[in-house]
Amino acid sequence: MSPATTPGAEPVPAEQANWRSLRLLAICRFGLAVLLIVLIALGGHVELVDASGSRKAFVGTAIVYLGVAIGWLGLIRYRKKGFELQLLLQTASDLILLTLLMHAAGGARSGVGLILVAAVGGVAVLSSALRAAFAAAIASILVLGDAVLHASGSGWQDMGQLPPAALVGGACFAMAFLVNRLATRLATQEALASRRGADLHAQLEINRLVISELEQGVVVFDTQGRVRVMNRSAQALLGASAPLPQLVALLENWPGPDGVADSAIETSLTCIDDARTGETVQRRVRVRLLRPWSDARRDSILILEDLRTIEERAQQLKLASMGRLSASIAHEIRNPLAAIRHANGLLCERQLDPLGQRLSRIVEDSSVRIDRIVENVLSIARREPPTLERIEAAGFLQTLVAEVTAAEGADAARIELALRSDEPIVFDPRHLRQVMSNLVSNALRYGSDRPGALRLEWGEGRGARLELKVYDDGPGLPPEMMEHVFEPFFTTESRGTGLGLYLVREFCNANGAGLRYEQIAGGGRYSGAFVILPGAR
């Protein structure tokens, strides 16, 4: 295994590093070949070949070495495949040609053999310890073989080549061991740094995503008062043209001893809401400062919160508390209310004069209204998670019409059914019955007494979307009421509770259904319709 491919390192960067190192080794080989030829060309100024060598053989081998170096450099540039094979072939060519150069220069005593040590070191950078040792062994064998060849050529009279050859062989092993160890440790540290860099990059991305999704506005200033980071909430809060000078001035004059505040401060910022019109608006914000006070040269972070949003959340909490309180009160009212209605019924049976009968009816009507309010409040408070079912539309709507007309004492002919689809309605049956009962009762209350004054329609609407519609021929909703129609306790009728349509919206939301009111223009039969879209989110 190459040191540059230590386990844990990313494969693509490691492969690129291997090819860069091999290319650098080829460049060094090319430079060495050019240097050898230049030194030979200097002639008497630098002498590389001793008396026992062959200058002609040295020049020829150097030229071959230069050609091989150019070939390897071109191959690495244009064909980055088979790294291990190229490394093996380049190592073999280096050892053979450098040994021939050393032999032509006169053997190990010429000093050219030291170039073999450098070549083994270059191989050790890119190879495993075993391969580096193998290359060192081959180099040592070649050097010793050359020394033996020189000794045999002199009739074993000149043994002076053996000690330098032994030193070169030992230097090859030492170089292979040391360089490989250093390269392995360097590759390990590089892989660790790469992993740490990747972890840091991932952490920075996580931080960036978290900051961008925060509800609070975040603005980071550097020491020169320039904005480094501003998340989307801050951009939305500060408007089209952020009042950065105001924030910088606030940052420079932060209240408290030495600029340290014990708590957040509240201030007003002048923001431009629309860049085209230049319309300005005053926004009240709560500002918190985060800064490493031990080092004033660090960035400063301002956390911005819209006080209007904070107040709205507080109001929602109050409304939620009031809702729970109202549910508790409503539950407690039911028992005495039932007793009042029962007593009033008994009293009505004994009242013979018209005034007493009229007063009893007033008590009964008011009790019924209170009971309806209590039932609606309790329905909202104890709303259970829906159980979606596939409801057969025809049977459900026919049963619903019979139940509502019986409860309201209305003529069933006033309600017309139109089924334009055989698809089932996906809804919780209890919730759908409550929703449709409220909508049909509301339509009966405002519609005329003519046959077909109401129309219940199930079928495809816009975009081939299944819709359940409740039409009526009443006066319809004026435009100023459209935005308030689904609000709790909003009603235009003195006897209404203002909770019916609010309850309808809550049940539709619980079942993932859309709800809207659409007006019908053109002077047709119906003035408007409530539209339910089952399964819409």
**Of the residues 310, 330, 364, the one at which a domain ends:** 310
Look at 497 and 218; give whichever has higher pLDDT.
218
Q: Are residues 288 and 345 in the same domain?
A: no
pLDDT for 45 = 43
Q: Are residues 54 and 185 in the same domain?
A: yes
pLDDT digits (tens, 9 = 90+) for 272-323: 665 556 667 777 888 888 876 555 567 788 888 888 888 777 777 776 676 6
* Burial of residue 358, with CB atoms counted within 10 A of its CB: 0-12 exposed, 13-18 middle, 19 or more buried: exposed
Give φ, ψ of 305 to 5 degrees.
Answer: -130, 130
**What's the first-to-final CA gap in the chain, in angstroms?**
56
Give the span between the Cα atoms of 468 and 418, in whole angstroms: 10
Query: Is 132 part of a structural domain of the chain?
Result: yes
Give the span between the Cα atoms of 364 and 340, in whole angstroms: 9
Query: Is 206 part of a structural domain of the chain?
Result: no
Q: Are residues 97 and 244 in the same domain?
A: no
Q: Are residues 467 and 399 in the same domain?
A: yes
User: Which CATH number is 353's domain given?
Assistant: 1.10.287
User: What is the arithmetic mean of pLDDT over 419-439?
Assistant: 87
User: What is the arithmetic mean of pLDDT over 81-107?
Assistant: 81
User: Which CATH number is 427's domain given?
Assistant: 3.30.565.10
Q: Are residues 31 and 53 in the same domain?
A: yes
Closest to 380 measured CA to CA, from 479, 293, 296, 501: 501
The lowest-confidence range among 192-196, 387-391, 479-483 is 479-483
Reduce the DSSP state of residue 440 to 3 states and report it: helix
Query: Is 205 part of a structural domain of the chain?
Result: no
pLDDT for 259 = 45
User: Over 60: is that where the pLDDT of 495 sits?
Assistant: no
Residue 533 corresponds to which tokens in the numbers above?
Answer: 């879209």
Query: Is 211 part of a structural domain of the chain?
Result: no
DSSP string for 404-425: HHHHHT--GGGEEEEE---PPE
**Of the residues 140, 169, 198, the one at which a domain ends:** 198
* Burial of residue 183, with CB atoms counted within 10 A of its CB: 0-12 exposed, 13-18 middle, 19 or more buried: buried
In the block, which residue shows the tokens 């506005």? Answer: 217
Q: Which domain holds residue 418?
A: 389-533
Look at 450 and 277; give whichever has higher pLDDT.
450
Give the span between the Cα atoms of 299 and 221, in whole angstroms: 6
Widest CA span in the chain: 156
Look at 11 and 451; give whichever has higher pLDDT.
451
Q: Are residues 101 and 18 in the same domain?
A: yes
User: Over 70: is that where the pLDDT of 399 sits?
Assistant: yes
Q: Are residues 85 and 223 in the same domain?
A: no
Let me know: does 454 contact 426? Beta carbons within 8 Å.
Answer: no
Reduce the DSSP state of residue 351 to 3 states and report it: coil
Q: Which residues, including other chains, have CB under 8 Å from residue 157's CB and lie 6 or more apart?
A: none
Give the span between the Cα atoms of 469 and 454, in whole angstroms: 10
Query: Is 208 part of a structural domain of the chain?
Result: no
Q: Are residues 178 and 59 in the same domain?
A: yes
Amino acid occupying residue 517: Y
pLDDT for 11 = 41
User: What is the arithmetic mean of pLDDT over 143-155?
Assistant: 74
pLDDT digits (tens, 9 = 90+) for 206-265: 888 888 888 888 888 887 878 888 888 888 888 766 677 888 888 777 765 444 444 577
User: Over 80: is that where the pLDDT of 450 sits?
Assistant: yes
pLDDT for 53 = 60
User: What is the arithmetic mean of pLDDT over 51-65?
Assistant: 76
Q: Are residues 47 and 165 in the same domain?
A: yes
Arithmetic mean of pLDDT over the chain: 78
User: What is the arithmetic mean of pLDDT over 328-348?
Assistant: 77
Look at 21 and 493; give whichever has higher pLDDT.
21
Let me know: does 473 contact 523? Beta carbons within 8 Å.
Answer: no
pLDDT digits (tens, 9 = 90+) for 405-428: 887 888 888 989 999 888 899 988
pLDDT for 289 = 82
pLDDT digits (tens, 9 = 90+) for 130-144: 888 888 888 888 888
In the block, which residue shows the tokens 């919160």? Answer: 305
pTM of the full structure = 0.44
Query: Is 397 part of a structural domain of the chain?
Result: yes
In terms of average pLDDT, the best of 10-24, 200-214, 299-313, 494-508 is 200-214
State the pairing for strand pair 454-460/415-419.
parallel
- Number of Cβ within a 10 Å radius of residue 303: 17
In the block, which residue shows the tokens 């007003």? Answer: 268
pLDDT digits (tens, 9 = 90+) for 62-80: 888 888 888 888 888 777 7
Dihedral class, residue 107 (left if φ above 0, else alpha if ψ from -120 to 50, else beta): left
Give the span between the Cα atoms of 36 and 13, in whole angstroms: 35
Quick one: what percent of the chain has pLDDT higher than 70?
80
**Of the residues 381, 408, 436, the one at which a domain ends:** 381
Q: How many domains does the chain have?
A: 4
Give the span between the Cα atoms of 51 and 35, in whole angstroms: 21
pLDDT digits (tens, 9 = 90+) for 76-92: 877 778 777 888 888 88
User: What is the arithmetic mean of pLDDT over 199-211?
Assistant: 88
pLDDT for 52 = 56
Q: Are residues 185 and 298 in the same domain?
A: no
pLDDT for 392 = 92
* Burial of residue 447, with CB atoms counted within 10 A of its CB: 0-12 exposed, 13-18 middle, 19 or more buried: buried
Look at 451 and 501; give whichever has higher pLDDT.
451
Q: Are residues 70 and 90 in the same domain?
A: yes
Let me know: does 172 contact 117? Beta carbons within 8 Å.
Answer: yes
Q: Which residues, listed in sequence order, are joined to residue 269 by a DSSP beta bridge? A: 283
pLDDT for 1 = 39
List Cα–Cα distances, 428 to 266, 339, 397, in angstroms: 47, 33, 14
Query: Is 21 part of a structural domain of the chain?
Result: yes
Query: Is 284 part of a structural domain of the chain?
Result: yes
Q: Are residues 116 and 145 in the same domain?
A: yes
User: Over 70: is that where the pLDDT of 494 sits?
Assistant: no
User: Which CATH number is 266's domain given?
Assistant: 3.30.450
User: Over 60: is that where the pLDDT of 329 sits?
Assistant: yes
**Which of 271-280's residues contact partners 24+ apart within 8 Å by CB, and which partners?**
271/237, 271/238, 271/239, 271/241, 271/242, 271/243, 272/239, 272/240, 272/241, 273/239, 273/240, 274/240, 275/240, 275/241
- Number of Cβ within a 10 Å radius of residue 333: 17
